[in-house]
Structure formats: C-alpha cells, structure tokens
Chains A and B, each alone.
Chain A
Amino acid sequence: MKYSLSLCIFVVTLIFSGCAPKTQITLLPEDDGKVGIISIANNKKETHTIDKAYTSLNISEKGDIEKKVEIEKDVLSKYAEVLNALPKKGQSYLFYFSNDSADLNAEQILELRNFTLLIKNNDIIEIICIGHSDSLGDKEYNKILSLKRAQSVANVLTRNFVDKSIIKLEYYGDANPLVKTEGNKSSPKNRRVEIILK
C-alpha cells in the first residue's frame, strides 16, 4: 500500500515537472484583415517578434522561445470561450449643429429617440456625449457652447428614459476639431456632438 502511494506521488511529480508554466501568445487578424505586431522578451532578454495572423510564440518556464504557425480553426475553437467574451468596440455617432446654437432639429430628436432602442437592445453600460464647437468667436464662450450641445443631446436621451447615471458629458470647445481650420473660422463639420456607446 505504502509502495503504491509513493509510486503515485512519483508519477504525479513527473507529470507536473513535465508541464511547467508556459506562455503562449497567438496573433489574430482584425475584422478588416489587419494584423498587429507582438514581441516577447524572456528572462534572458532575448526578443522574438511575430507579425502574421495565426502565428504564435511559445515560451517555456526556462525561457526558451519557439515560433509556431497555428491552424485558424484550431485557434478559434481552443480559445472560443475567451474570444466570445471580448466586448465589441465602442460605436461612435455624430450630431451636427447650426452656428452659435445648441438646438437639435426635429429630425435629430427623432434619430436620438431611435437611439434609445439601440442603447437598450445592446446592453450599453456607458454613453459619452462629447461637445465640440468651431473656432469662430471667443474660446471660453465656445467651451460653454460645446457643453450646452452635449447637454441637449443628453437631455433628449434622459427624456426618453435612458438612465442618467450611465451618461458622461465631456466638452472641448474648439480644441478637438474634426476638420482642421485656421483660427476664428466657421465650420459646420466641427459644430458637433460625438456620442460613444460602450
């Protein structure tokens, strides 16, 4: 009995010493097919790089690095759980304003109402409303104007029963233009509120 127990311990030790902790990193293609670059340094400061989809780097506990080409299907099924849990990128939408105005027109208000459905159906947990102005006029005035724009968008959402606590307001005045203009210029594309849904 004692003999079999020690044999058992011996076998278990053997198995575990064989699979020391190991890191594997696999590069995947983005939706548009683009692939990034990843480099790995081990404890000996040796560096290896991959830049092709479905290639992987494997590092043993001792720090030996091995590059491998993986099979797409195998990677996707092996990591299905964690890949499925990855959130989608925050969606961004733009609403434009008239000169020196923070008012939304009837069409935009309707569009924002439809938005509330999108928010509810997609489990949105945060809405960021970012107000912007063009560079015409006083900078401080424009900051306030851009805040008012963000507020009018947020107001339509809360009037349509979007939870106020998930809305965040930000405003930049003319500091973050969509189209670069020379100073003190009217620009319809820069008079906007960007909404980001997370």
Chain B
Amino acid sequence: MKKYFTLFVLFLGIPTLLLSAQSVALVKSVNGEISVIHEDKTISNLKKGDKILEKDTIKSGANSSVGLIFNDNTLISIGSNSAFSVDEYLFEPAEKNVKFKSNLLKGTMACVTGVISKINPDAMEIKTKSASIGIRGTYFVVEVKE
C-alpha cells in the first residue's frame, strides 16, 4: 500500500515539477561569486549555461557580475553586491500574453529590453524599495544605493 502511495505522489509530483521548472532565462556569463535562491529556498551557485526560473533571486558577491538572456531576448546584467528577483515572467508572444515584473533589492543592474516591451509597453516593471519603474524601453541602468 505504501509503495502505491509513493507512486501516486510521484505521479502527482512530476507534472508540477515540469510546470514549475519552466526556464525564463539563460546565464550567458558569470564573473566571480553568483548564487541563486529558488522559490523553495534552495540555494545553488550559478554558472554559464544555467537556467533561471520565475521567482528566483540572484545574488552577487564583491567584484562579481552575471549576464542573463531572457526568453524574449531581454538582456539583463547584475553588478557586484546586488540582489535581483524575477517576480513574474510571462512570454506567450502568439497570444500576446506578456509580463515581466522584477525587483532590484540592492546593487546595480543594466538592461536592454526585448520582445516583451515591444508587444506591450506597459508589461515591464522593476521595483525597488523606494520606487516602481515602468520600462517602455530600451537601454538603461538602475542603482539602489544603501
């Protein structure tokens, strides 16, 4: 009976895993120490070629930076001593369903916008402690000073 229960749990688990494992970006370059904290609080070090998921928080150490390419070709880099989270990411271009909400908790980030803000100029928003930034394109840098 226990065996069947495990099987049942596995069957339930697989589709949810597949759903939640939807990658939203690829890590193109890593300099120094970069870690990622997933939604379930597990932490791992990021390396080139790794995938970023929705709800991930990326943290960088001193003299460290990371370059990301999102599915819609939005490019984002994060500088030293920074923390950046991908809160919501939706890219279904055929249905024109797009959304990109992120949060720069501290540090610096640079960005070149991609297809999402072309499809819907109101779809992209970056939050910080003191502001909410509406991005209608295209190339900019943000700094959160402590």
List chain A positions with a Cβ less than 8 A from chain B: 19, 21-30, 34-43, 59-63, 65, 75, 79, 81-90, 123, 125-126, 166, 198
Smallest CB separation, B13 vs chain A (Å): 24
B131-145: which have CB < 8 Å to A?
A: 131-145
Smallest CB separation, A104 vs chain B (Å): 26
Closest 9 CB pairs between A and B?
A36-B137, A82-B79, A36-B138, A85-B65, A85-B77, A87-B28, A37-B136, A87-B67, A86-B77
B78-120: CB near A (< 8 Å → 1, else 0) gives 1110000000000000000000000010101111110000000
Knowing that A23-B143, A24-B143 are A-B contacts, what are 17 other residue pairs whose CB atoms are under 8 Å apart, sorted by A's residue number?
A21-B129, A22-B130, A22-B144, A25-B142, A27-B139, A30-B112, A37-B136, A38-B134, A59-B130, A61-B129, A62-B130, A82-B141, A84-B77, A85-B110, A123-B48, A125-B26, A198-B28
**CA–CA, A150 and B34, complex, Å:** 35
Is residue B53 contacting chain A, with contact meaning CB distance below 8 A? no
8 contacts between A and B (CB under 8 A): A25-B133, A26-B140, A36-B139, A37-B136, A63-B130, A82-B108, A86-B112, A87-B29
Smallest CB separation, A198 vs chain B (Å): 5
Is residue B35 contacting chain A, with contact meaning CB distance below 8 A? no
Is residue B24 contacting chain A, with contact meaning CB distance below 8 A? no
